[in-house]
Structure formats: structure tokens, C-alpha cells
Structure 1
């Protein structure tokens, strides 16, 4: 009887461990894609490519900002010289916390909100 109980306990613990591993991998995969989208957006801003950055905005945000309005707004912001990811979370929507380093050399914290649109992560809300 104790052997049967022991086998059941081992199987349950093993199943929970394997399930937890695959859950972790699924979440990490989802957040990695969101992180990549946010990094692409910021890299485009660093490269002064507002057109490419605009293409990474979600449809709601593009509806609030024309390409020209977005480009003019970016031009008024301090130039980003570097960035650092400080955290990512989410599955169907995500937030990416970044430290942005403008010309001044100080680090400004910014939270990018992302949503999935047509299978791709897009920056939504207040872009920068």
C-alpha cells in the first residue's frame, strides 16, 4: 500500500513539475516576443526612424496620431541614446518597463503597453 501511495506522489509531483516547466516556457516565449517588439520600437526611435516606429503602433494609437503628428511629437522629445529592459509581463497584452537614456545622460523610466494585433505585438497607448 505504501508503495502505491509513493508512486502516486512521485507521479503527481513529476506531473506538476513538468506542467510548471511548460507553463514557464509558454509565458517566457510570449514575453520575449513582446520585449522584442518594444525593443524594435525604441531602436527605431534611437535611429531617428519615426516611420518604422509608427508602423509598430497598434491601430488604436495610429487612430489617435497621424504619421505626421507622431513624427512631430517624437522630434520634440529628447533624443534617446540607449535603453535597458527592466521587466516584461503579459500574455495577450503586455507591459515592458524600460530605462531610456536621452542626451542628458540621465535615465528616464517608461512603461510601454503592448497588445497583440493580427498575431504581432504592437505598442499601444502613450508611445513615448
Structure 2
């Protein structure tokens, strides 16, 4: 007659279950830390980009107000430059109501499928004294921000 020790088999099962649960918990911990790190990196990247996007919007508007149509044209994105020739852009820039002052109020940056995009909101003061609020979409092209769409 064989004797079975009470609790002999049952003692192994909780240890195995504990081991599996420990491995699962460690895996979840690594995933959570990785997700938090990726989120922090993305937040920092977008936050740093907003300053550069603001600088690019202000440089574009400075070129516009000073009458440097060539400089302003060079700050446009490829899509906008394909729609407007340099001559058309310069002609449009010289037609009233020209912009005499500007103030960039806000810049928001977002990542869209790995492509950084921004929207700069600016108050434009026309020669006539009319103040116009304008949103300028921007895209990051390499290491530079460029204005897209109709900047007028």
C-alpha cells in the first residue's frame, strides 16, 4: 500500500502558479515603463518643437512685413510653392491690404503619424488698421518649419 503525503502535490502547484504570475507581472511592468518612457519622449519632442515653429512663423511674418517676398517665399512648404510661383507670391504680397504689424499669439504642435505639424495663430495688422486673426498651418521639413496653405 502506497502512502501519499498530504499536501505533497498541492504544494508544487502554488509555486508554479506564483512563478508564472511573477513572470507576467514583470512583463507588464516592463511594458508600462516602456509606454511611459515613450510618452515622455514624445511630449518632450513636441514641446521643444513648438518654440522652433514659433520662431519660423515669426521669421516668415517678419519677411512679409519688411517686404522681403523672396525670403518669405523660401519659408513656404513644398506644396504651397508648387501652387504659387515665386512671381505670383511676390505680386500677391505687394497688393493691399499689406501687413504692417504682427503678433504670434499661440503655436500648437502635434504629431500625425510621425510627421510633426503645427498651427501658428497670429494677429495681423493691415495698413488700413484692420486687425485680422489668422491661423497658419506649418509642417516640419527636415530640420526646418515651413508655412503651408494660404498665409494671407
State the TM-score bracket (shorter-chain normalisation): 0.7 to 0.9
Q: Name which of 135, 142, 146 aligns with 1:118.
A: 142
> 4+ runs of 1 displaced by more than 4 Å?
22-25
The two structures, once aligned, show a CA RMSD in angstroms of 1.8
**Structure with more contact order per residue of length (Cα contacts < 8 Å, sep ≥ 6):** 1
Which residue in the other structure is 2:54 paired with?
A: 35
**TM-score when scaled to structure 2?**
0.66
What are the ranges of 5 or more consecutive residues in structure 2 without an aligned counterpart? 1-35, 111-115
Partner secondary structure for residue 61 of structure 1: helix
Select the structure of larger CA radius of gyration: 2
User: How far apart, in 2, do the equivalents of 1:23 and 1:69 lie?
Assistant: 39
Within 5 Å, give how 1:18-97 maps onto structure 2.
25-91=44-110, 92-97=116-121
Aligned residues: 110
**TM-score when scaled to structure 1?**
0.78
What are the ranges of 5 or more consecutive residues in structure 1 without an aligned counterpart? 1-15
Partner secondary structure for residue 27 of structure 1: helix
Any idea what the Cα deviations from partners look like across 1:19-39, whole Å, max 9, x if unmatched? 86x766543321111111111
